[in-house]
Amino acid sequence: MLEYVEKIRKTAGKLFEEDKVDVFIGYKKGSVPMMNQPVLISNADQVDLLHWDSNCGLNLCNYLTKRTDRIGIIANGCNSRNIVTHITENQISRDQLYIVGIPCKGMIDHRAVQRAVKQKEILAIEEQGDTFTVKGKDFEDTFNKNDYLQRNCSVCTHRNPVIFDEMIALPVEEQNEVDVYKDVKQIEKMDPEKKWNFFTRAIDKCIRCYSCRNACPLCYCPTCFVDESNPQWVGKSSDPVDTMTFHILRAYHCAGRCTDCGACERVCPMSIPMRQFTKKLNKDAQELFSWEAGLTLDQRPLLDVFQPDDYNDFIR
Amino acid sequence: MTKKIYTKEEWIKALAGLKSSYNIFVPVRDGDFHTFKVLDEKKIPDFNFQNTRLSPKSLVYPRSERLFEYTLDENAPDVNIIKESEKDYSPRAIVGIRPCDAHAFQIVKPNFENPEYQDPWWTQRYESTTFVGLGCNAPDSTCFCTSVGGGPFSEKGLDALLYDLGDTFLVKGLTEKGETFLENAQGGKTADETALKAGEDLAAGVSDKIEQKVSTDKLKHKVQTELFDAPFWDEVAFACINCGTCTYLCPTCWCFDIQDEVLGKQGDRIRNWDSCMFPLFTLHGSGHNPRARKVQRVRQRFMHKLKYYVDKYNNGVQCSGCGRCVRNCPANIDIRDVCELMNG
C-alpha cells in the first residue's frame, strides 16, 4: 500500500490548487513505529506530511464531526462506511466532502507483532507488499502481513470504499470467503453464566480512560451518558458494575451503526477485546434485518426507520 | 549502607521471606504487559521487564479510594455522621520499581505534602512504602529520564536499588527504610569490590546509551500567557481523541474527583482519579465550562506539566520521562515534540 503515498500527496495538492477544499485530512508518519497520526493540512505546501501504510488504524471520520469547512479526506472501506453513517446522521454534509478512496488490504495488529517479537522494543517497521519487517536493537524479523492483520481487518468484507469522489487505485479483491462472525458464534454457544464471565473477564483491566469511546466515530454525543452529572447515570469509581454498564451501553449505542473499523480495540491501552461487545450486535443487525451499517446514503439507519409493511409482527 | 549480592533465585526467596513483614509488590506478567501485584504463592515475579503498562502510582494513590463513610439510617445513633474509613497503612514494598517511577513520586510529593497542605492518605501510604528500585539495563528509545532530572540508575525517591548483573542482583541500601528492608532479607552475601565495580560500570554504560534528549531549559523563563497563546496548540491537539490514556498511565498525573456513592442506606465518599482530558473535569455547576474545547484541554495538560508546575514548585517539569504516554497514546501525541515546541 506504500505506493499510495505519492498519489495521496499529489491528489491533495491538486485539490488545494483547484480550490476544491479548505483542509485535507489524512495521516502522517508517527513518531513511534506502528502509530501513525491523523493530520489536518491546510495548504499545498504541507502535502509531504501525508503518509499511508498499514499502521493507519485510527478512523478519520472521527475528525469530521460538525466541521463547517470544505474537507478533503482519505477513506478506506471502513472509514468510508463511517462517513456514510456520519452523513445520514447529519454530522457532516456530503457536499462539504471530497473523498479520496483508498482500496485497503488491512491494518497491522501492532499488539500481535509485539507479541511475536516477545515484547521487545520495535525501532522500525518496513513494508514490502505482502510482508513487513520489524527491526529492534538485536533482532530483525519478517512476517506475512496477512498473519498479523488486525482482527477486524482479517474478516473485513468491505475493503474498498463505498463512497468516494476519486479512487487512488483500482479496487482490491474482497474477502468473500471469510467467516465474519466465527468468534461471536463461539460466545453464542456459551450458557449465560459463562457469557457473563467472559465479558466480566474481558473488562477486568479496564481503567475507564474512554479511549474506545473517543476513537469511535459513532460516539459524537455532545455529552456522553457517562459524563452526565445532573443526574449522574454511571458511577465514577472502579466498581466493576459501573465499568460493565459503560461497556454494555456503549455497545448498544453502536447497534446498527458499527462498521467494525476496529479503532476501539486498537487504541485500548489495556488490550481489551472491545469488538466482542459490538460484533454480536452487527451480527444481529445482519441476520434479523439484513443490515450492514454505512453501505449507502439512500437508506436511513437501521434504528431510525419505521416501515408500516415491516415483516415483523411486533412492530405493527 | 548495605551492599549485597544475591543470585536471582536467592533474591526471590528472600522476598518470600519478607512477606510476613511487608506486603510486597512485584512486576508480574499479565497478558500483553506487566503489572505490579502482591507477591503470593501463585505469582511469579518477572524482573526481566521493560516497565509496567500502568505506572505504580496506584499503589500509593489508588484509582478509587474510599475516604469516608456514613449511614443514612434514621434509626442509627450516628445517622448522617461522616466517619473516616478504615485504611491499610501496614508496611509495603514495591520491589522492581523503575527509577523513573520512583522519581515520579518525588515529583508529585509537593502537591500532596507541602507546608500548607498535607493529603493524609497519600502521605501515610507513601510513608508506609519502601521503594526498592531496579536499574534499567536497556531503556526504550522512548525513554527520556535523563532529560528531566532522572536516570536509568537514578536513586531519587528510592530506598534501595537493584543492579541486574546477569545471574545476580547487586542490591544497595540507600535510606534507613531501605536498610530495614534489607536487614530483614535473608541470604545473599556482602558484595565485594568486583561486584560493586560491575554495578558502577553497568550504570555508567547505560546512562550514556540514552539517546533521547528533550530540552526543558527555557521553559522556566517563558512567559505563561505567551505560551498559552502560542500558535501551535491547534496543530498539537488536532489528532488527540481526548481520552484518558496519557493521564491514567502517567506516573505524575495526580488529579482526582471526589464523589458520594450511596447503596441503600450506606454512603461512601470516594476519591477517583480524574483526567483533564475529559470535558466533565472542569464543568461548573452553572453549566459553564471554561475548557469546553478539546484544544483547551490538551493545552492544559502540557501547560500544567511543562509550565505551571515548573513555575509553582521550582522542581523541574512534572514528568519523569517514563515514555508511557509516548508509547501508548492512540493518536501518537508525543510529549517530547510538544516539549520542544514549548521550549523553542
pTM for this entry: 0.95
Domain parsing of chain B, residue ranges: 3-209, 219-343
Q: Which cell numbers hold the place of B57? A: 502510582
Residue A238: which of B256, B320, B144, B273 has the closest Cα? B273
Does the pLDDT at position A2 exceed 80? no
A238–B241: do the CB atoms touch at under 8 Å? no
Give ∠ CA A277-A283-A286 in degrees, rounded to 5. 145
CA distances from A167 to A72, A93, A129 (A): 13, 20, 19
A110 touches chain B (CB under 8 A): no
Residues of A in Cβ contact (< 8 Å) with B328:
269
Residues of B in Cβ contact (< 8 Å) with A214:
241-243
CA distance B83 to chain A (A): 19
- Contact between A136 and A72 (Cβ < 8 Å): no
Residue A223: which of B289, B98, B9 has the closest Cα? B289
Question: Which pLDDT score, from 0 to 100, does residue A1 have?
Answer: 58
Residue B65 phi, psi (nearest 5):
-135, 125
Nearest chain B Cα to A269, which residue? B328
Query: How long is chain B?
Result: 344
ipTM score for this prediction:
0.94
Question: In a 3-state reduction of DSSP, which class is residue B161?
Answer: strand
Of A47-56, A165-174, A275-284, A305-314, the range with the lowest mean pLDDT is A305-314
Question: Which pLDDT score, from 0 to 100, does residue B212 have?
Answer: 76
Q: Kind and range of the H or E element at A275?
A: helix A275-289
Give ∠ CA A307-A308-A314 in degrees, rounded to 5. 90
Residue A197 phi, psi (nearest 5):
-65, -40
B119 touches chain A (CB under 8 A): no
Mutate to test the interface with B, among A23, A226, A236, A264 (most CBs of B within 10 A): A236
Residue B175: pLDDT band with limits 50, 70, 90: very high
Report pLDDT digits (tens) over B185-196. Answer: 999 999 999 999
Size of interface A-B (CB pairs under 8 A): 111
Q: With the CA atoms of A156, A245, B66 and B28 taken in that order, what torsion angle do they form, in degrees rounded to the nearest 10?
A: -30
Q: Which residue did the predictor score with more confidence, B324 or A229?
A: B324
Q: Distance between CA B36 and CA B53 in Å, rounded?
A: 10
Amino acid identity at A184: V
Q: Distance between CA A89 and CA B149 in Å, rounded?
A: 50
CA distance B191 to chain A (A): 31
Check whether the bond before B115 is cis (ω within 30° of 0).
no
A58–B32: do the CB atoms touch at under 8 Å? no
Query: Can you point out the beta strands (E) in A14-169?
Result: 23-28, 37-41, 50-51, 71-75, 97-101, 124-128, 131-135, 140-144, 166-167
Q: Kind and range of the H or E element at B69?
A: strand B64-71
Share of residues in chain B with pLDDT > 90 (%) = 95
Placement of cell 478519520 in the chain = A60
Does the pLDDT at position A316 exceed 70? no
Residue A293: which of A250, A253, A235 has the closest Cα? A253
Q: How many helices (H) and strands (E) does chain B have?
A: 12, 12
Question: Which pLDDT score, from 0 to 100, does residue A311 have?
Answer: 76
Q: Distance between CA A138 and CA B265 in Å, rounded?
A: 60
Give ∠ CA A69-A71-A77 in degrees, rounded to 5. 145
DSSP letter (8 states) at residue B167: S
Mean predicted confidence (pLDDT) in B254-262: 95
Does the pLDDT at position A68 exceed 80? yes
Q: Kind and range of the H or E element at B233?
A: helix B233-238
Residues of A in Cβ contact (< 8 Å) with B211:
none
- The overall average pLDDT reported for chain A is 95
Report pLDDT digits (tens) over A19-64. Answer: 999 999 999 999 999 999 999 999 999 999 999 999 999 999 999 9
Q: Which cell numbers hold the place of B1? A: 549502607
Question: Which pLDDT score, from 0 to 100, does residue A218 have?
Answer: 97
A32–B142: do the CB atoms touch at under 8 Å? yes
Query: How long is chain A?
Result: 316
Report pLDDT digits (tens) over B277-311. Answer: 999 999 999 999 999 999 999 999 999 999 999 99
Report pLDDT digits (tens) over B188-224. Answer: 999 999 999 999 999 999 977 787 789 999 999 999 9
Q: Kind and range of the H or E element at B200?
A: helix B193-209
- For residue A125, what are the β-bridge partners? A134
CA B321 to the chain's CA centroid: 11
Q: Which cell numbers hold the place of A223? A: 455529552
A237–B270: do the CB atoms touch at under 8 Å? yes
Query: Can you point out the beta strands (E) in A145-230?
Result: 166-167
Q: Distance between CA B332 and CA A41 in Å, rounded?
A: 17
Question: Which pLDDT score, from 0 to 100, does residue B161 have?
Answer: 98
Question: In a 3-state reduction of DSSP, which class is residue A113?
Answer: helix
Q: Distance between CA A109 and CA B3 in Å, rounded?
A: 45
Question: Which pLDDT score, from 0 to 100, does residue B113 have?
Answer: 96
Q: Distance between CA A120 and CA A135 in Å, rounded?
A: 10
Share of residues in chain A with pLDDT > 90 (%) = 90
The phi-psi region of residue B243 (left if phi > 0; otherwise alpha if psi is between -120 and 50; otherwise beta) is: beta
Q: Which cell numbers hold the place of A279? A: 460484533
Considering CB atoms only, which of A38, A121, A213 is closest to B140? A121
Q: How many helices (H) and strands (E) does chain A have?
A: 10, 9
Question: Which pLDDT score, from 0 to 100, does residue A306 have?
Answer: 80
Of A194-203, A305-314, B152-161, B170-179, the range with the lowest mean pLDDT is A305-314
B72 touches chain A (CB under 8 A): no
- Contact between A175 and A155 (Cβ < 8 Å): yes
B53 touches chain A (CB under 8 A): yes
Residue B163: which of B191, B136, B131, B144 has the closest Cα? B136
Report pLDDT digits (tens) over B77-113. Answer: 999 999 999 999 999 999 999 999 999 999 999 999 9
The side-by-side arrangement of strands in the sheet containing B256-263 is B83-84, B64-71, B266-273, B256-263
Question: Which pLDDT score, from 0 to 100, does residue A3 have?
Answer: 81
- Contact between B84 and B68 (Cβ < 8 Å): yes
A207–B54: do the CB atoms touch at under 8 Å? yes
- For residue B38, what are the β-bridge partners? B25
Nearest chain A Cα to B65, which residue? A237
Amino acid identity at A225: F
Scanning A177-236 for CB atoms below 8 A from B yields 205, 207-211, 213-215, 223, 227, 229, 232, 235-236
Burial B185-205 (b: 16+ CB within 10 A, else e): beebeebeeebeebbeebbee
The contacts of residue A19 (CB under 8 Å, 6+ apart) are: none
